[in-house]
Amino acid sequence: MPSEFELIRRHFVRPTPQAILGPGDDCALIASSPGMQLAITTDMLIAGTHFLPNTDPHQLGWKTLAVNLSDLAAMGARPRWALLAGSLPAANEPWIAAFADGLFACASHYGVDVIGGDTTRGPLTFCLTAIGEVPVGTALRRDQALLDDDLWVSGQPGLAALGLAHLQGRTELAEVLVKPCLAALQRPLARVELGLELRQRGLAHAAIDVSDGLLADLGHVLERSAVAAELFVAQLPPLPAAADPVLARRCQLAGGDDYELVFSAAPARRAEIAELAVRLALPLWCCGRVIRATPGQLTLVDDDGQAVPIKDKGYDHFG
């Protein structure tokens, strides 16, 4: 049976052209570019909590990195480096090889060097730290939403939660929905290019990625910015036609695991944002507005202009 260090050497040591020194020593060595700040984020994925134990290892490798890159995207940072720590119940080398291939496929797609990490025996768990760069003082933050800002969301939140419901037997998706919903769940796309464009062009004031649910994550922006908001049901992305509409709406608002971006922007920038959506081939939906009310208050408004009771905002590990 290969040792810990042999497993690392075989599957996780690859060229790191953006680092001064990569895996193999006590520390990696990196140097940030002149005029840049480092944006650093970390996420933990635990079998049975963040992914099903029988998840395809290649897809899991991709997702382990992608969910961290989504945090960098939300701040308008360019991904550069990543470190991976993981515990494995056994040294199942074919499984590890597939996981590593998925991880490095994602790293290659987004231009990231995996520069180090650690492994140990234990319950199947991964903790990845991603590091990006952003010009000094320009990072998109949660605490910068302004009164009268529009609220936008990218893509189609809710597909990942529908995919999970399908796998767990809580719904049976129409055949046409199975592939896109499972792809959203198992191979999410971090909206890095969108985040970079929003920052570079000064389009967004505040931003966050949707990991715990659209309502929950938007609520974090409102709390940190000390503002309130209205979210208009009629202006949200259309629900998949072949899905149960009640479940689809719940997944859209509170499902999480989407890794789309929610951001606020001045109404005067609507045309530029619409043009950006076309250029990126990524739908961007203007679905709400920032208002003056109790800080953190979020009101869901139906087609008739009436407030809709909010029963579930999203996922909370300790809720």
Is 316 labelled as part of a ligand binding site?
no
Is 258 labelled as part of a ligand binding site?
no
Fill in the DSSP letter of residue 65.
H
Q: Which regions of the chain does DSSP assign to beta strands (E)? A: 36-46, 78-88, 113-121, 125-135, 150-154, 206-209, 228-232, 261-265, 284-291, 298-301, 307-308
Is 118 labelled as part of a ligand binding site?
yes
Is 50 labelled as part of a ligand binding site?
yes
CA–CA separation, 228 vs 299, rounded Å? 8
**SS3 of 305, please?**
coil
- Neighbour tally for 62: CB within 10 Å: 24
**SS3 of 19, please?**
coil
3-state secondary structure 200-242: HCCCCCEEEECCCCHHHHHHHHHHHHCCEEEEEHHHCCCCCCC
Identify the CA nearest to 200 among candidates 208, 211, 192: 192
**SS3 of 67, please?**
helix
Pairing of strands 125-135, 150-154: unpaired
Is 117 labelled as part of a ligand binding site?
yes
CA angle 258, 259, 263 (to 5 degrees): 115
Is 315 labelled as part of a ligand binding site?
yes
Is 299 labelled as part of a ligand binding site?
no
Residues annotated within a binding site for substrate: 50, 257, 315
Residues annotated within a binding site for Mg(2+): 26, 41-43, 71, 118, 209, 212
Residues annotated within a binding site: 26, 41-43, 50, 71, 117-118, 142, 209, 211-212, 257, 315
Residues annotated within a binding site for ATP: 117-118, 142, 211
